[in-house]
Amino acid sequence: MAAAHVTGSLLASGVNTHERPSKVAGLSGVATIGEAQFKLLSLVGRKPELKGVVAAKLAALADELEMTLSLDTEKSDNNISPRGPLDHLPLTTTTTPGSGPSERKHEADSNPVDDLKKRFLDFKINYYLKQPQFVEPLKTGQSPKILFIACCDSRVTPEYITKARPGELFVLRNIANLVPPMEVAGKLHYGTSAAIEYAVLHLKVEHIIVNGHRACGGIQALMTQKRGGKTTDTGSKSFIGDWMDVARPAKTKTLEQCGHHDLQTQLRFCEKESVNNSLRNLLTFPWVKQAVDAKRLQLHGWYYDFVEGALSTWKPNTPGMELLT
Ligand SMILES: [Zn+2]
């Protein structure tokens, strides 16, 4: 029950719950704060006229808990770090030995991991619990139709930019969204090849999208050799240079076709040509080529320009490019 969790958390932090009973005790039949939130939201959904009452009661509860924790902190002058279901709330007030109230910081407000925990609860409430028609089938397996190969770049988020639901995309991300050629000896890039094999032979995806993007750090390293050398700044082996060698044919073509242009023009060209290089490399895997020849599998080149908010799409060996802006 939520009341038990909250009480346990307050006890762990030294709060005297007998003197200041939590009003959460009124929410019976729920196991977590997320479920309590869901129960309240469902109630308000059925009876919108309760919005004001619910908001006022929640605000009063938050004020009471915050005041209780603050009073306890001032009394004990010890570190307080509640453990349990209150951790994700911005209630955690900490002190360091010898510091006074003015030095206290609300760490949860600035902690990006805590922020993700909060957003998980939002996902749980607004998707996982509300849309069982999409969630339930995934509990027994996955059957995505698309293998989506993207860069690790934090600005290129496949599910976010395509609004894909869990289960729709089998996602493979690596530096610069590269596909190496089929290799069985020498430089082995098994991580990427294994994911492609699983998607094609076991999941039997019907499409593979290789998604390049503007301002790719990997392509810049390839074209300028910055951070693309054989060693890191501290002298240890660098993996980036070897990995980006996969796209070296794209660099060669870029220099042939627009070596006389400025660097930015070369980078934009190489970012797209590297996608073509990866599409060609996909066909070096015999089971990819067989599936493509049998028309069970289609390959697609995509290029996401997050500066312009535009997406270009094309198919290998097919003239023309569709531009979505
Ligand atoms: Zn990139």
Place of tokens 């054989």: 230
Tell me, what's the pLDDT at 68? Answer: 64
110-161 confidence digits (pLDDT tens): 799 999 999 999 999 999 999 999 999 999 999 999 999 999 999 999 999 9
User: Ligand 1 centre from 277 Cα, in Å?
Assistant: 15
Q: Is 300 annotated as a binding residue?
A: no
Distance 151 CA to ligand 1 centre (A): 5
Helices (H), the chain: 2-12, 33-46, 51-76, 107-110, 112-123, 132-135, 158-162, 190-197, 217-224, 239-244, 248-258, 263-282, 286-293
This complex has an ipTM of: 0.99
Residue 151 annotated as part of some ligand binding site: yes
Mean pLDDT of 259-270: 96
Q: Where are the domains of the chain?
A: 2-126, 140-324
**270 annotated binding-site participant:** no
Q: CB of 177 within 8 A of CB of 146?
A: no
In the block, tokens 């070897």 appear at 242
- 186, pLDDT greater than 80: no
> Is 216 annotated in some ligand binding site?
yes
Q: Percent of the chain scored above 90 by pLDDT? A: 55
Task: Work out the angle at residue 206's Cα, subtended by the Cα atoms of residues 200 and 209, and round it to the nearest 5 degrees.
Answer: 85
User: What's the gap in Å between 132 CA and the centre of ligand 1?
Assistant: 34
Q: What is the 135 CA–ligand 1 centroid distance (Å)?
A: 31
| Class of domain 140-324 (CATH, top level) | alpha beta
